[in-house]
């Protein structure tokens, strides 16, 4: 087996105070998170997550949803430069999309995979490149947490309780220690945090 190259595996996700990444009505129930997505703190956080990343990893739902939004931002000269920078990076970067149902990759410079996330990411770590960013896809982040493959977490905690919906940190994860390496609180009480895995 090829040895890892030292590439970091990072992940970003927004959560409510009760640890949910969407509300009880399903993936479209983002009412407790969306009001905080375009604050100054959120935009600075967005700029941090992709700096140094050369591979984006996405679940199918996010890959399809992002395709309908971010390319238009990349082309919009009036968009916030931080949003536009991220959008252009996402359009241009190598993308790995997890799906059991898609026949064709939904983006250019994207490839589909139907395999365990831990196996795919472990293989990505053997290739040359910068950070591997798991981009807002809890379906991929969760198995990587379970396999202890994440090196950095970019979390945005929104000051609302959703009262239902899936949580990122399920019972049964292996114990691990993390060091807070960055944090910022925004004007609405949202908190952007960067945690690095202590190994």
Q: Buried (b) or exposed (e) across 129-161, using 16+ Cβ within 10 A?
A: eebbbbbbbbebbbbbbebebbbbbbbbbbebe
Let me know: does 167 contact 20? Beta carbons within 8 Å. Answer: yes
126-162 per-position pLDDT tens digit: 999 999 999 999 999 999 999 999 999 999 999 999 9
pLDDT at 20: 97
User: Does 197 score more than 70 pLDDT?
Assistant: yes
58-71 per-position pLDDT tens digit: 999 999 888 889 99
Alpha-carbon radius of gyration of the chain: 16
User: Does 3 score more than 80 pLDDT?
Assistant: no
Around Cβ 100, how many Cβ atoms within 10 Å? 9
pTM: 0.94
């Amino acid at each position: 087996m090829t040895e890892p190259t030292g590439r970091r595996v990072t992940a970003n996700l927004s959560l409510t105070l009760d640890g949910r990444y969407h509300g009880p009505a399903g993936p479209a129930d983002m009412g407790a998170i969306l009001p905080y997505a375009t604050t100054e703190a959120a935009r600075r956080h967005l700029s941090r997550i992709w700096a140094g990343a050369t591979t984006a990893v996405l679940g199918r739902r996010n890959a399809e949803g992002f395709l309908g939004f971010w390319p238009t931002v990349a082309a919009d000269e009036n968009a916030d430069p931080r949003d536009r920078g991220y959008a252009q990076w996402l359009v241009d970067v190598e993308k790995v999309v997890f799906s059991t149902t898609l026949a064709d990759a939904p983006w250019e410079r994207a490839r589909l995979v139907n395999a365990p996330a831990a196996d795919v990411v472990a293989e990505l770590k053997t290739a040359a490149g910068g950070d591997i960013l798991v981009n807002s896809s809890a379906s991929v982040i969760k198995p990587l947490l379970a396999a202890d493959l994440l090196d950095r977490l970019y979390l945005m905690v929104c000051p609302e309780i959703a009262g239902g919906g899936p949580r990122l940190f399920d019972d049964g994860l292996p114990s691990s220690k993390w060091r807070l390496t960055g944090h910022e609180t925004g004007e609405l009480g949202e908190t952007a945090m960067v945690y690095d895995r202590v190994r």
